[in-house]
């Protein structure tokens, strides 16, 4: 876990919010007016959240990322010959508005400027007609040159430059399309990569094989430093022999075997076309989407072909347009999260006191039921005998249900009005979740046993995570969902809890794969372990609570800067945010210290910072796409998580804690259903009264 982090470089400045002196779980009742103020804040937030629901029953907040989305959209349109001022002008206005004083562009709010992001933004603004002598362009160019120029940009940026002749295809790592021919048991076949990576690699392999060059309309030589490429790594290590393999493959790229290459391109095209979603996207995410459009176009698909026409039209659904004082702007979401947002909203509103029969929850439950995926996807390569089910992140990415969304949907459906459809969907979802458990006991997001770390060392994999191993946050959400269905003593839960105990960091926290970062991981794991029957006074829980107390800011909130993925100094440090404060409060509540001084100081921070409309400001990004490289600001996080935390802490529903019901087994719907294990065997999941084993009460890392 912490091996992913680096302490290299100068020590950053202490976050202005500072650290808290609170390090013990002392109990302190709130002052006389804080509880009613907190209840009023919860009521405002609840009403605001209800007002955001769509008539069909779903919620969706914007997913804000960085300007590479807009820059690459303009570059793609230029390459396809369809770029018009209608896209260029408002997009360029948005890109300019995101520039930092140092001339660069960052990958997250208040983060450091990033070289590759800046190069792509600069190229897009040149497309928009911005002159090289314009003040903002001079600052951007100076930043690029000071940080190594084009020569030090990431591989994907240089691929975009190669499309326009600004970089040599022969100087890029090899991605041979023949990879699609490798059987699934062979190392480095496409299914060794995470779903988002494989969907990017296959179309990129087609593009790389074609080595196209089309006019950009200008040169970017002003961004070159003339620096020589870095020296090749020693052949004695993994990086060295993979570098040697890449050199051999690049040699093959110059003279591929004709019949083999033609077959590979045909199979790759079929693979790409088969994975287009109903909305025109690929996986509902930007990188495979744009590369698939480019790849199929290069193979001869005309722009009016149904696949390309649907793909290009689908981008409009991911486009955000708004008016600003400087004029209209246009930006793109890298993905969308209606299923995730809806499930979180249902849980939040239920925790805030809405009954299961409330019309908003009924509508949401019906919509979620309809979103269940009943077709087989790529996950079946590793789990061929598993019946399909699950829920995806977005409206239409049916090829890629994920375990995290599925777990949250199951938790949400249990909070809506029961019915035969709900019960059947819960049973199918439970079977699928248990079948997706990896051999080590944890869960990845999209695939089981997607753990071949060799893939990370390939020369072209220099941007973002390319595999989908089990993570603490996903595993915790699934354990919590299974426990909510009375499976506390099931084999799946016992193995999941054991994985979580092994994953605890020495400082008491857990790494957060899909949210920032250890605050997110810890906020997910503590409620799951307590739901699974772990006592709040267990050393594992105590260490986690102590870590949260140490990380509380002086203002009462919690925050963690995204730089914590690369620099240990930032672990648990950062400006307070509404979502991260809520995650910490959820953990403290689950651990039985929801009445502590630390918890009420967190509640006070939420009350003090709430907007008049019931929401919270949160410019900081707290969502993670790729640790260390790509981040997301989920605009609904700032609302759903504070509602959940305040609802639980204030006990707005007037009922006992949900974990008590779970441990007592009063919610069981799974009596003796058969769940395929990782090895394909059927594991009997007993009812809550049947003992399968003894739940560990300690033994996590550092105990």
The half-sphere exposure of 164 on its side-chain side, counting CA atoms within 13 A, is 25
Active site residue 398: no
- Distance CA(29)–CA(79), nearest Å, equals 63
Structure tokens, 354: 């809405």
- Contact, 173 vs 459, CB < 8 A? yes
Q: Is 53 helix (H, G, I), strand (E, B) or coil?
A: coil
Of 115, 703, 169, 172, nearest in space to 459 by CA: 172
Angle at 115 between CA 112 and CA 119, to 5 degrees: 130
- Distance CA(482)–CA(533), nearest Å, equals 12
Which residue's entry shows tokens 């989908």? 468
Of 504, 465, 471, 503, nearest in space to 404 by CA: 471
How far does CA 58 lie from the centroid of its chain? 20
Structure tokens, 538: 């267990």
- Contact, 648 vs 589, CB < 8 A? yes
First to last CA, the chain: 16
Alpha helices in 107-237 (DSSP H): 115-127, 135-146, 155-162, 195-210
- Distance CA(287)–CA(630), nearest Å, equals 12
- Distance CA(251)–CA(261), nearest Å, equals 14
- Distance CA(284)–CA(400), nearest Å, equals 9
Residue partners of 109: CB distance under 8 A and separation at least 6 = 619, 620, 621, 633
- Contact, 200 vs 180, CB < 8 A? no
- Distance CA(428)–CA(435), nearest Å, equals 11
Residue 676 β-bridge partners: 682
- Contact, 96 vs 139, CB < 8 A? no
Structure tokens, 264: 């590979």
Which of 246, 404, 507, 629 does the annotation list as catalytic?
404
- Contact, 164 vs 216, CB < 8 A? yes
Which residues are known catalytic residues?
404
């Amino acid at each position: 876990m912490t091996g992913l982090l680096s302490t290299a470089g100068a020590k950053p400045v202490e976050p202005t919010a500072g650290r808290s002196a609170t390090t013990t779980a002392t109990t302190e009742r709130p002052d006389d007016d804080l509880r009613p103020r907190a209840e009023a804040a919860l009521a405002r937030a609840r009403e605001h959240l209800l007002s955001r629901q769509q008539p069909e029953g779903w919620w969706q907040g914007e997913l804000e990322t960085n300007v590479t989305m807009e820059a690459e959209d303009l570059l793609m349109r230029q390459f396809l010959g369809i770029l018009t001022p209608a896209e260029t002008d408002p997009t360029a206005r948005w890109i300019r508005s995101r520039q930092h004083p140092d001339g660069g562009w960052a990958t997250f709010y208040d983060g450091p400027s990033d070289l590759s992001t800046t190069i792509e933004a600069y190229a897009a603004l040149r497309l928009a007609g911005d002159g090289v002598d314009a003040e903002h362009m001079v600052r951007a160019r100076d930043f690029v040159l000071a940080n190594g120029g084009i020569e030090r940009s990431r591989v994907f940026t240089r691929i975009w430059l190669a499309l326009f002749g600004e970089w040599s295809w022969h100087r890029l790592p090899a991605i041979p399309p023949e990879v699609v021919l490798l059987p699934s048991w062979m190392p480095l076949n496409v299914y060794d990569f995470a779903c988002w990576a494989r969907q990017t690699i296959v179309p990129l392999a087609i593009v790389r094989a074609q080595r196209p060059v089309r006019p950009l309309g200008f040169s970017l030589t002003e961004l070159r430093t003339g620096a020589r490429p870095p020296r090749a790594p020693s052949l004695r290590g993994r990086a060295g022999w993979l570098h040697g393999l890449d050199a051999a493959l690049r040699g093959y790229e110059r003279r591929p075997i004709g019949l083999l290459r033609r077959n590979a391109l045909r199979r790759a095209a079929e693979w790409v076309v088969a994975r287009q979603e109903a909305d025109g996207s690929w996986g509902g995410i930007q990188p495979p989407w744009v590369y698939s459009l480019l790849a199929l176009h290069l193979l001869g698909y005309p722009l009016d072909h149904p696949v390309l026409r649907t793909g290009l039209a689908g981008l409009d659904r991911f486009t955000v347009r708004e008016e600003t004082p400087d004029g209209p702007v246009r930006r793109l979401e890298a993905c969308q999260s209606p299923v995730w947002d809806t499930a979180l909203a249902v849980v939040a509103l239920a925790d805030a006191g809405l009954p299961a029969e409330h019309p908003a929850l009924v509508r949401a439950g019906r919509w979620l039921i309809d979103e269940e995926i009943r077709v087989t996807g790529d996950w079946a390569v590793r789990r061929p005998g598993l019946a399909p089910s699950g829920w995806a992140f977005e409206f239409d990415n049916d090829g890629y249900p994920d375990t995290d969304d599925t777990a949250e949907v199951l938790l949400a459906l249990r909070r809506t009005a029961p019915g035969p459809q709900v019960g059947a969907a819960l049973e199918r979802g439970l079977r699928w979740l248990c079948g997706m458990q990896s051999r080590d006991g944890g869960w990845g997001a999209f695939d089981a046993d997607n753990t071949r770390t060799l893939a990370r060392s390939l020369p072209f994999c220099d941007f973002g995570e390319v595999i989908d191993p089990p993570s603490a946050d996903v595993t915790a959400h699934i354990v919590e969902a299974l426990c909510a269905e009375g499976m506390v003593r099931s084999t799946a839960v016992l193995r999941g809890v054991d994985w979580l105990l092994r994953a605890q960091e020495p400082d008491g926290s857990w790494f957060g794969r899909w949210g920032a970062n250890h605050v997110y991981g810890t906020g997910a794991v503590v409620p799951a372990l307590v739901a699974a029957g772990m006592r709040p006074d267990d050393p594992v829980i105590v260490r986690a609570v102590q870590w949260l107390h140490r990380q509380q800011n002086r203002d009462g909130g919690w925050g963690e800067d995204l730089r914590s993925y690369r620099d240990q100094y930032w672990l648990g440090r950062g400006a307070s945010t509404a979502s991260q404060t809520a995650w910490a409060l959820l953990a403290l509540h689950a651990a039985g210290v929801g009445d502590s001084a630390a918890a009420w100081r967190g509640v006070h921070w939420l009350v003090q910072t709430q907007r008049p409309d019931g929401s919270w400001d949160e410019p900081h990004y707290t969502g993670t796409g790729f640790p260390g490289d790509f981040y997301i600001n989920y605009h609904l996080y700032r609302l759903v998580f504070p509602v959940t935390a305040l609802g639980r802490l204030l006990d707005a529903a007037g009922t006992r804690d949900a974990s008590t019901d779970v441990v007592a087994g009063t919610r069981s719907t799974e009596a003796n259903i058969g769940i395929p294990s990782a090895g394909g065997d059927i594991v009997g999941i007993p009812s809550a009264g049947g003992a399968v084993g003894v739940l560990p009460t300690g033994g996590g890392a550092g105990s």
